[in-house]
Copies of this chain bind each other. A is one copy, B any other.
């Protein structure tokens, strides 16, 4: 057969990840990054943009729903990423979709996805972004909860991002490490690519792993891969594990 490389890759630059992904994320598509609280979703989304800036000078847009831009700036600083400086250089733009707490009226049950989509488009064009991170849709989906709406809105955002020509990461919430992939049971079917970040507890210890669950139309390593979060290096996928896995040839796709 022919043309086995139809889908181009975007080398993320995240240490070790591109090897797990056999070349990087499918370029021009959206990838769902699902994980429990503290599993590293936001760090992954931040580092995805940061590596684009540092390694390839690609500008990025970061859409946040619950953490404020200020919170993300400070958390990223702990890994050495100078987001504020990048903002000044026009390399990083925040689309801050977090709730304003303006007194006493809770606004629940509605969200202006159309407006959001317009703001994202605007931001992408403004800096000529190649990468977009959307973190985290859980804060919005909780207001709808209905799987049909969750599915539609995720589909809509994915479509718009694809039309914008960017490669994007969309994070979503899980509540257990080895149960269903997603909270509403539909998120993992909508987008082209799905990655799970796990932080599982066994014998009183936590262990962090990443797994590529699917890349439509693209090869990738399968199964779980260890990683660490390090103040100096950010997210690091461990080379040792790759070595071990290369010796196992039981699955062609791995």
What residues make up the interface of A, taking CB atoms closer than 8 Å to B? 1-7, 36-38, 42, 66-67, 71, 74-82, 99, 101, 103-104, 106-109, 113-114, 117, 136, 138-139, 142-143, 145-149, 151-153, 155-156, 159-160, 173, 175-176, 178-181, 183, 185-186, 188-190, 192, 194, 199, 201, 204-209, 211, 213-214, 216-219, 222-224, 228-234, 248, 250-254
Contacts and interface: CB of A to CB of B under 8 A. Distances in A.
Main DSSP-derived SS at the A contact region: loop
Contacts of A188: 36-38
12 contacts: A1-B81, A4-B231, A36-B188, A37-B181, A66-B189, A75-B216, A101-B156, A106-B113, A143-B148, A205-B223, A205-B250, A230-B253
A38 to B, nearest CB: 3
B151 A139 contact: yes
A159 B104 CA distance: 13
A108 to B, nearest CB: 5
Contacts of A216: 38, 42, 67, 71, 75
A82 B201 contact: no
B159 A101 contact: yes
A38 B204 contact: no
Contact of A108 (B36, B152, B224): B152
> Which of A66, A139, A189 is the most central at the interface, judged by chain B CB atoms within 10 Å of its CB?
A189
B223 A204 contact: yes
Given A71-B216, A106-B149, A253-B229, A78 B6 contact: yes
A208 B188 CA distance: 18
A79 B252 CA distance: 14
B37 A189 contact: yes
Nearest to A178: B201
B204 A7 contact: no
Contacts of A207: 251
- In the complex, the 10 A-B pairs of residues with the closest C-beta atoms, listed nearest first: A1-B80, A38-B214, A75-B217, A104-B114, A6-B77, A37-B188, A204-B224, A4-B231, A206-B222, A205-B223
Contact of A232 (B1, B145, B217, B248): B1
